[in-house]
Chains A and B, each alone.
Chain A
Amino acid sequence: MKLRGTVAAALASAGILLAGWQSGTQVNGISTVASSTTAAGTTGATGSGSSGAGSSGAAGSSSSSGSSNSSASGTYKGNTVQTRFGPVQVQITVANGKITDVTALQLTNTDGKSIQISNRAAPLLRSKVLAAQSANVQTISGATITSDAYLTSLQAAIDAANL
């Protein structure tokens, strides 16, 4: 009973961590995820996505827990989680109630190798975004304009419509 709970919690932690990681907060290799997941899973902590304030380290907060006496061992697969980079599935190896290994079974590439999830910038064609551009916006982001320039700005037009 305790074993199942521990493993379930660990898998959930791994899933949450992966989701947080996948969201691009700290883009690192898969090894970073493995180690942070191990740390979180061992203590039964839940991961939490970093808010992106730029602090280093993986997204995961550990809290102490007295539940690591269990002698669970074995290999467990997590659910496949859909991320914005594609499906991700992890497998954990548990020895004496502690996660000793985390392997990514399914990542966005198909050959099974760990990959670098990229948030890098790529060229963007105007024709593509213009097609996707929404005319229905509620606000405008642009380089800071002076009070005078505001008068003739798109933002002023939107504000005037909502006065």
Chain B
Amino acid sequence: MQRTSNPPADAGKTVLDAGKTVLKARTFECMGTVIGLTMPVDFPAEGQPGLAEFAAATAVVERLFQDLDETFSLYRPDSEASRLARGELKLPQASARMRERYAEAHEWRLRTEGAFTPERPDGVLDLSGIIKGHAIREAGTSLLALGRGDWCLNAGGDVLVSGSPSPGTPEPWKAGIVDPADRRTLITGYALGGNSGHEAIATSGSAERGEHIWRVGNEGEFVQVTVAAADMVTADVLATAIVAGGTRMLDRAADGWDVAVLAVRADGSMLATPGFQPA
């Protein structure tokens, strides 16, 4: 990665060196949070097709997120999810994509012994615990289909990467893990991709927006749980499940999946599987 000095914020025209690769980021708002796509972009002497391709890739990702949000958001009264929640629509009559996500969420409920569940305590179907991860997964598939091999997609703190920030090298993308007690600082870092094969990392918190985490008998054991896994939905669901299920679910996850887990308790103490332990 040729991480050249960043252009001054007020410079409308960026001085770009021909042939250099720099990281570029684009963000958009969706699902109540901010989604960011970061890519190493090439700057040839003329035309800058690297930037154009980046813009196109960002547009594809944004469209995909918006499309899923229109169907699955409970914040949109007219969404299919809202009509289901109000009982105007029954699941058997719902769209195939809705039923597929419900089936996937239900499978995770079984795998996590109920620590992850697609239903709120009042019985209302709420797939928000799985839709963001699903959207990231789909976006990743689209980026690969577009021929993009090096990128980092961050949706409100859940991250999926491909390749390297420095194309053609084994350098991994590195994610910092936020300290729940002070969000301006990091607890530690984790290398995504590379030897671990973990290209996805997700963090769930006990104070999370949307309240899709409902505890199952481990009140407040962990205030924040980070899970790294090969795929986004696994990381996302297990992070949510461990916040809800505590140490027992943490042990189940560590035993049953190829994951690395970092869990932070309310007093600031931490539990970590070997993947998060310093060498």
Contacts and interface: CB of A to CB of B under 8 A. Distances in A.
A163 to B, nearest CB: 6
A156 to B, nearest CB: 8
Nearest to B242: A121
B87 to A, nearest CB: 27
B183 A141 contact: no
Nearest to A144: B156
B34 A120 contact: no
B157 A145 contact: yes
A134 B173 CA distance: 12
B261 interface: yes
B170 interface: no
Contact of A119 (B111, B156, B158, B254): B254
A1 interface: no
A154 interface: yes
A161 B261 CA distance: 29
Could you say which of A84, A126, A142 has the most chain B C-beta atoms within 10 Å of its C-beta?
A142
Interface string B19-62: 00011110101001110101000000000000000000000000
Interface string B119-141: 00000000000001000000000
Interface string A83-111: 01000000000000000000000000000
B251 interface: yes
B174 A143 contact: no
Contact of B189 (A23, A84, A122, A134): A134
A126 B185 CA distance: 12
Interface in B190-212: 190, 195, 197, 201-205, 207-210
B105 interface: no
Interface stretch (A9-17, A35-43, A49-57, A66-74): A49-57
Contact of A153 (B23, B183, B195, B278): B183
Interface in A121-144: 121-126, 128-134, 136-144
A53 B188 CA distance: 25
A121 B33 contact: no
A122 B24 contact: no
Contact of A52 (B205, B257, B263): B257
A146 interface: yes
Contacts of A142: 157, 177-178, 180, 183, 203, 205, 224
A91 B74 CA distance: 57
Nearest to B238: A54
Interface in B251-276: 251, 254-259, 261-263, 268-276
A2 to B, nearest CB: 35
A146 B58 CA distance: 20
Interface stretch (B65-73, B76-84, B89-97, B228-236): B228-236
Nearest to A143: B205
B157 A143 contact: yes
A154 B185 CA distance: 8
B271 A123 contact: yes
Contact of A120 (B190, B224, B273): B273
A23 to B, nearest CB: 6
Closest 3 CB pairs of A and B: A143-B205, A142-B178, A52-B258
